[in-house]
Amino acid sequence: MNIVNGFSKLTKEQKIEWLVSQYFQGDLSVVSLLKSYWNSDVQLQKLHDEFIENTITNFYLPMGVAPNFNINGKTFAVPMVIEESSVVAAAANAAKFWSKRGGFKATVLATEKIGNVHFMFKGSKEKLVTFIEGLQPVFRIRTAEITRNMEKRGGGILKIDLIDKTNELSGYYQLHATFDTRDSMGANFINSCLEEFANVLREKAMEYEAFTAAEKESLQVVMSILSNYVPNCLVRAEVSCKIEDLKSKEIQNPQEFAEKFVQAVRIAEIETYRAVTHNKGIMNGVDAVVLATGNDFRAIEAGVHAFAAKNGKYTSLSHAEIVNDEFRFWMDLPLALGTVGGLTNLHPMVKFALELLGKPNANELMEIIAVAGLAQNFAAIKSLTTTGIQQGHMKMHLMNILNQLQATDDERKEVAAHFQEQTVSHRAVVDFVENLRRK
């Protein structure tokens, strides 16, 4: 049994030693491998070590850049962190395509964040409503310390509502609080406010004379936490152009292309199996920029997919239509992001990414990220409805196959020449390289 006590107290070297002895039969090459990914700059390595507990090494992902993103008339080179071969190429391709057709437009529609104190109360609802009304100024006073800086920046607590959920779960109520967290994602701010609301709720219930002893006793806070479902923190990204302007090297018949494109989006709107993959393609672009800019991709993913199912059925995030002779493609996306706080000021690559984007505020970053998602979706649907996805995907994946085969520079040249005309498949590349090696 590989149970260990006090693992977190061991030094990094000791942790590796223990892991290698327990799981790799003491193989010293594993130690070397892990250490080879340490940064030689000790301070930089320490910074990364301290992001999480039990760090043993670093885990690289490539950071790429998709240039030529015209968003609201400004041109961006968008940083993307992702492992999937074709994503950056597809984004760059879509960015260039739309830069010649008026660019992307993006608009922040709302920026409200949400948090809840979930509590149980078995008693008179009328009394509870009056009790909470009376607490409104107390909630504000008791969180004044926490909200002072946020208020200086123009944000703070917006509203605290009592929500009756007893129809769905006996005795269950919420304080549903909304916040403006300006340029920070605001998770710590929101959770600190909520925990203080919960303290107020507990303490003041005990002193509230209108409650019976049983009612006081019944008021139990279950938990206080922000919600990653942010349907009112919303940004719209869109493109449009005359159908005839869609004509390009790859799109010879723009009318046919536009109609097929709209059909593909309609399929994602009505068919969940397709919608999930369609939205996954959008998140290829979104997550890559979310990661590069040090934001929480799990929060974004959870919120986006809940939003995609907001009407009770999971559906496409994006939409397309043809109106007269115009092609329109757009998407509303809930994105709770930060450009201050969190990793933004700590991780050197995140700092770089934000600088590359011209130090955007949270709203501007929402716009850029939504556009990255829409661009990715455009590129995917364009490929799917024309050449098929594998052509571009396998071309990009070729490098991975060659690396697996540890191909030499000469072999790579021969492979590149051969597969310029041929369809790339894993088998075909392996066969071709093996053939070369036999010669």
**Which listed residue (79, 115, 186, 281) binds ligand MEV by CB under 6 A?**
281
Q: How many Å apart are CA 326 and CA 172, to the nearest integer?
A: 50
Task: For the CB of residue 246, give the shortest distance to ligand MEV in the complex, in Å.
Answer: 18
Q: Which residue is nearest to ligand MEV (CB)?
A: 281
Say whether 280 is catalytic. yes
Is there a contact between 17 and 25 (Cβ–Cβ < 8 Å)? no
Report the residue from 27, 41, 50, 84 that binds ligand MEV according to the rule CB under 6 A. Answer: 84
240/383 with CB nearer ligand MEV: 383
**Residue 301 designated active-site:** no
286 vs 276: CA distance, rounded Å: 15
Q: How far is the CB of 107 from ligand MEV (least distance, A)?
A: 24
Does position 280 bind ligand MEV by CB under 6 A? Answer: yes
Minimum CB distance to ligand MEV smaller for 142 or for 280: 280
How many chain residues bind ligand MEV (CB under 6 A)? 9
Adjacent-strand bridge partners of 160: 177
| Whole-angstrom distance, CA of residue 35 vs CA of residue 30 | 9
Instruction: Find the binder of ligand MEV among 277, 403, 423, 435 (CB under 6 A).
Output: 277
Span from 174-182, 195-203, 220-228, 272-280 in contact with ligand MEV (CB under 6 A): 272-280
Smallest distance, ligand MEV to C-beta of residue 375, A: 12
Site string for ligand MEV, 103-142 (x = CB under 6 A): ----------------------------------------
267, amino acid identity: I
Q: What is the per-residue DSSP string for 233-298?
A: EEEEEEEEEEGGGG--SS-S-HHHHHHHHHHHHHHHHH-HHHHHHHHHHHHHHHHHHHHHTT--HH
Closest CA to 391 of 99, 100, 89: 89
Out of 280, 319, 351, 395, which one is annotated catalytic? Answer: 280
Residues in the chain: 439
**Residue from 410, 14, 438, 404 nearest 429 by CA:** 404
Q: CB nearer to ligand MEV: give 157 or 283.
A: 283
Q: Show the tokens assigned to 384.
A: 């799917």
* CB-based burial label for 48 (10 Å; 0-12, 13-18, 19+): middle
296 is catalytic: yes
Determine which one of 215, 296, 364, 367 is catalytic.
Answer: 296
- 426 belongs to the catalytic site: no
Binding mask 371-390 for ligand MEV (x = CB under 6 A): ---------x---x----x-
Which residue, 251, 245, 243, 252, is CA-closest to 320?
243
Nearest to 178 by CA among 202, 152, 153, 197: 197
Residues 343-372 that bind ligand MEV (CB under 6 A): none
CB of 169 to ligand MEV, least distance (A): 38
- Binding residues vs ligand MEV (CB under 6 A): 84, 277-278, 280-281, 284, 380, 384, 389
Catalytic positions, written as ranges: 84, 280, 296, 393
